[in-house]
Amino acid sequence: MNATIIHKTNVTDALLDNLAMALPSILADTLEAPGGRAAIVKPEQISLGFSKASPRDVGSDIKIMIFAKELPSRASREKEMAKKILESIVSLPSKPGDTHSIDVRLYLMVVGVAEHSQSN
């Protein structure tokens, strides 16, 4: 599972550090679902990527895009899970007066395997 955090320059390093520490646990708690090994999510299985937004980028100060495997139990609660993730992030401790707009997008994907062999 991957999460990409795109942030504008006004977002502090302290806030990004808080996200880096808290987001894997938030995602693991929210996205774990019944359904066998494919549905088990542990914080150490989550890959985080951070990048700065372009100066021309409009919208939220922080955009979080989460890419997870689609499972029936996740797909049926997709909006509910995205809302829970956003609420958990907003409730993280921050400095007084430190306000940012945050956008969370949860993408559930079908993960498949492709095979290719070269014939002579």
CATH number of the domain where residue 40 is located? 3.30.429.10
Domain assignment of residue 117, yes or no: no
Domain assignment of residue 26, yes or no: yes
Report pLDDT for 68. 87
Domain assignment of residue 114, yes or no: no
Report pLDDT for 110. 81
- 43's CB contacts (< 8 A; 6+ apart) are 24, 25, 27, 28
Domain assignment of residue 118, yes or no: no
Report pLDDT for 102. 92
How many domains in the chain? 1
Domain assignment of residue 120, yes or no: no
Domain assignment of residue 115, yes or no: no
Please tell me the total number of residues recorded for the chain in this structure. 120
- The tens-digit pLDDT sequence of the chain (120 residues) is 899 999 999 998 988 999 999 999 999 999 887 766 666 778 888 999 999 999 898 889 999 999 988 888 888 888 999 999 999 998 887 777 778 899 999 998 886 655 666 766
How many angstroms separate the most distant Cα atoms in the chain?
67
Report pLDDT for 45. 87
Host domain of residue 53: 2-109
Rounded CA-CA distance 75/79 in Å is: 9
The pTM score is 0.81
Sign of CA dihedral 37, 41, 43, 44: positive
Report pLDDT for 119. 67
* 20 φ/ψ angles, rounded to the nearest 5 degrees: -60, -35
